Amino acid sequence: MQDSYRHKGLRRKLIESIQSKGIKDKAVLAAMNKLPRHFFMDKAFEEIAYQDKAFPIAAHQTISQPYTVAFQSEQLQIKPRMTVLEIGTGSGYQSAVLALMGARVYTIERQEELYQFANNMFKKLNLPQIRTYFRDGFNGLPEFAPFDRIIVTAGAAQIPDKLIRQLKIGGLMVVPVGEGVQTMMRITRISEKKVTCTALEEFRFVPFLKGTVSRK
């Protein structure tokens, strides 16, 4: 794995383009400028890894578009040492961005192949602040709840109730909701039983599915 001057240059251009699309959080931009996105993708995509596009990864899933990663990361309002639960590890790129912003990340993936890839990548990149789990994200991680922040990176048919219960009072969750096209929802848990919900922009994610898939 090599991060060349060319990669760095392409990455800087990508960050400028994300900024021009409205992302302001300096910590998000700095983390994304530091992290080699091409490490999280197949070698075949190395030349195009710094386009602002989603690309295929293993198990018929995708690495989210950089703008989407930046948007969700900004909406989370991360402060150092916050605990973040992520549903949908995928390539591991989003988890690594949050880790570089100072978060302690717990990430869950239902595809064993992706779980293993990401887990190895976090070891190689020396990111022990990310813990990976091969599970069904519908259940969250009750043993480590409540979390300061929750991010769902797969399209949910409805707001996952079980996950709201794993959010701290005052905590934030960002989740794309809808079938086909998703509306990004920002949910704040304001008390034990009350939440407020804000609808943001529209995105397209792979679906949030039940159960786990073991490696063949």
DSSP 87: E
In a 3-state reduction of DSSP, which class is residue 47?
Answer: helix
Q: How far apart are CA 115 and CA 113, in angstroms?
A: 5
Q: Is 206 in the site for ligand SAH (CB under 6 A)?
A: yes
DSSP 60: G
Does the bond joining 146 to the residue before it have cis omega, within 30 degrees of 0? yes
Q: Which residue is nearest to ligand SAH (CB)?
A: 90
Exposure of 111 in the CB half-sphere (CA atoms within 13 A): 20
Q: Is 74 in the site for ligand SAH (CB under 6 A)?
A: no
Residues 1-60 that bind ligand SAH (CB under 6 A): none
Q: Which of 4, 17, 20, 64 is catalytic?
A: 64
Closest CA to 136 of 168, 194, 89: 89
Determine the size of the site formed for ligand SAH (CB under 6 A). 23
Provide CB contacts within 8 A for 193, sequence distance 6+.
none
**214 has catalytic annotation:** no
Structure token digits, residue 97: 């961005």
Report the residue from 36, 88, 171, 176 that binds ligand SAH according to the rule CB under 6 A. 88
Q: Is 137 in the site for ligand SAH (CB under 6 A)?
A: yes
- Span near ligand SAH by CB under 6 A; candidates 6-14, 21-29, 106-114, 124-132: 106-114
Rounded least distance, CB 19 to ligand SAH, Å:
20
CA 62 to chain centre: 12
Q: Is 195 in the site for ligand SAH (CB under 6 A)?
A: no
Q: Is 114 in the site for ligand SAH (CB under 6 A)?
A: yes
Active site residues per annotation = 64
> Which chain residues interact with ligand SAH by CB under 6 A?
61-64, 87-88, 90-91, 93-94, 108-111, 114, 136-138, 153-154, 206, 208-209
